[in-house]
Amino acid sequence: LAFEFIKTPNWKTPNGVDLLRKRLTKQGWKPGKLLPMKLGHMGMGARELDSVCQINRYKHKDPRTHVDDFLGAIGSFTFKIAVVGSASWGPIKGNIFTIKKMGLYIRDTYDFNGEYESLGVWKRSQCLTLLDVAEYVALLI
């Protein structure tokens, strides 16, 4: 799979930290809590991880900038980040969240209702480049 079109995902954006705080609070965490509190566990399924541990996302809407077999099949999608870890409090650093595992995954509805969700133009050996697609479409007109 080619992901060169996605910048390196960084969960620690202001929105990511805020969502992590909300997820922890929903599980019973409070700032300054002395006893560690866990968020998620390794036995959770994908849907449960998505609803409990997902803390950031990146929407990829326009696959026309780089077409390969992956984007030809998926089109527009949401790239998500989920974490499993524990929140604790220490007298020196204060509130700390320690990540045990981080998962990166793609969420897609496969509905083809977006502005541009083509399955690509293919020949036997590859998905055509954007220039090849433009030439192909010009021949159809």
pLDDT tens digit sequence for 58-114: 877 655 556 666 666 666 778 888 999 999 888 888 888 999 998 888 877 666 665
Q: Is residue 37 domain-resident?
A: yes
Q: Is residue 62 domain-resident?
A: yes
Instruction: Answer whether residue 19 shows pLDDT above 80.
Output: yes
Q: Which residues contact 63 (CB under 8 A, 6 or more apart)?
A: 71, 72, 74, 75, 76, 116, 117, 118
pLDDT band at 34 (very low <50, low <70, confident <90, very high): confident
Instruction: Please state the rounded mean pLDDT for residues 112-122.
Output: 58
Q: Is residue 74 domain-resident?
A: yes
Per the structure, the complete domain to which residue 50 belongs is given by 14-140
Instruction: Answer whether residue 46 shows pLDDT above 50.
Output: yes
Q: What is the pTM of this model?
A: 0.65
Q: Is residue 9 domain-resident?
A: no
Q: Is residue 6 domain-resident?
A: no
Instruction: Answer whether residue 51 shows pLDDT above 90.
Output: yes
Q: Is residue 7 domain-resident?
A: no
State percent of the chain over pLDDT 90: 21
Instruction: Please state the rounded mean pLDDT for residues 108-125.
Output: 62
| Residue 82 bridge partners (DSSP) | 54, 103
Q: Is residue 4 domain-resident?
A: no
Structural domain count of the chain: 1
Of the ranges 23-37, 80-94, 114-128, which one carries the lowest mean pLDDT score? Answer: 114-128
Closest by CA to 95, choosing from 16, 13, 30, 44, is 30
pLDDT band at 1 (very low <50, low <70, confident <90, very high): very low
Helices and strands: H and E segment counts in the chain: 4, 6
Query: Strand, helix or coil at 133?
Result: helix
